[in-house]
Amino acid sequence: MRNYEDTYRHKGLRKKLMDVLRDKGITDETVLAAMNQIPRHFFLDSAFDEIAYEDRAFPISEGQTISQPYTVAYQTQLLQVKPFDKILEIGTGSIYQATVLAEMGVKVLTIERQKVLFEKTKTYIFKSKYPNLKFFFGDGYEGLPTYAPFDKVIITAAAPAIPPKLIDQLKAGGKMIIPVNEGEHQRMLRITKNADGSTSEEAFDNFSFVPMLKGKQG
């Protein structure tokens, strides 16, 4: 069950959450403005109606999670979203991260490997609001060669290593935000593809994601 009512109380809790994110070091106000527009409780069971605005990850279904708001803000900030960007997301999950990007006005293509979660995108509440957001069922390791190249790639699951096909599908000058490591914690990396096809890497903080798995399920 979902509660698709966005009350003043929800809006108030959301505004406070943006202050929490500022206190934790998020500085990109365009990211915070987008997150402030998105009712996060729409992406969770109604049992989470109020705690949806705590800065925590929560279970969705199929053993997956909706990322912590801080993590969403952090990855989105690192992505340096620009008007007209075409962005590929790996790991649709609850659709929350993809919605934040769609609200920023860019073109978003998101891939999910679990059939049950992909099927849920068909009843996405904001389908008509964000025609710039498109859903795909597939293995994120393969990317979307037909739609490539992308300005940006954002991976919202823990990758054991940087997937080479996703680097291939980046434009020259394009950027990928990816949490890398198989262990309990992943290092957030920003990979930039240079004009000669080589890559440069910047390392940021550690996070904890569900694993990026090979192949489709279901």
Chain contacts with ligand SAH (rule: CB under 6 A): 64-67, 90-91, 93-94, 96-97, 111-114, 117, 139-141, 156-157, 210, 212-213
From residue 62, give the alpha-carbon distance in Å to each of 73, 74, 93, 165, 217: 24, 25, 9, 26, 11
Based on the residue annotation, tell me whether 67 is a catalytic residue of this protein.
yes
Contact (Cβ atoms closer than 8 angstroms) between residue 52 and residue 40:
yes
3 state DSSP class of 31: helix
Least distance from ligand SAH to the Cβ atom of residue 184, Å: 16
Please say which residue, 188 or 200, places its beta carbon nearer to ligand SAH: 188
Neighbours of 96 (CB within 10 A): 22
Please say which residue, 18 or 101, places its beta carbon nearer to ligand SAH: 101
Please say which residue, 39 or 172, places its beta carbon nearer to ligand SAH: 39
Least distance from ligand SAH to the Cβ atom of residue 125, Å: 14
Mind giving me the DSSP string for 67-135?
Answer: PPHHHHHHHHHHHT--TT-EEEEE--TTSHHHHHHHHTT-EEEEEESBHHHHHHGGG-TTTTT-TTEEE
Please say which residue, 111 or 198, places its beta carbon nearer to ligand SAH: 111
Instruction: Give just the sign of the alpha carbon dihedral 138, 75, 36, 85.
Output: negative
Least distance from ligand SAH to the Cβ atom of residue 103, Å: 13
From residue 158, give the alpha-carbon distance in Å to each of 15, 113, 155, 195, 211: 29, 14, 8, 27, 5
Instruction: Specify the length of the chain in residues.
Output: 218
Catalytic residue among 61, 67, 198, 208: 67
Please say which residue, 77 or 94, places its beta carbon nearer to ligand SAH: 94
Least distance from ligand SAH to the Cβ atom of residue 92, Å: 6
3 state DSSP class of 40: helix
Least distance from ligand SAH to the Cβ atom of residue 170, Å: 17
Q: Tell me the residue nearest to ligand SAH as measured from the CB.
A: 93
What residues act catalytically?
A: 67
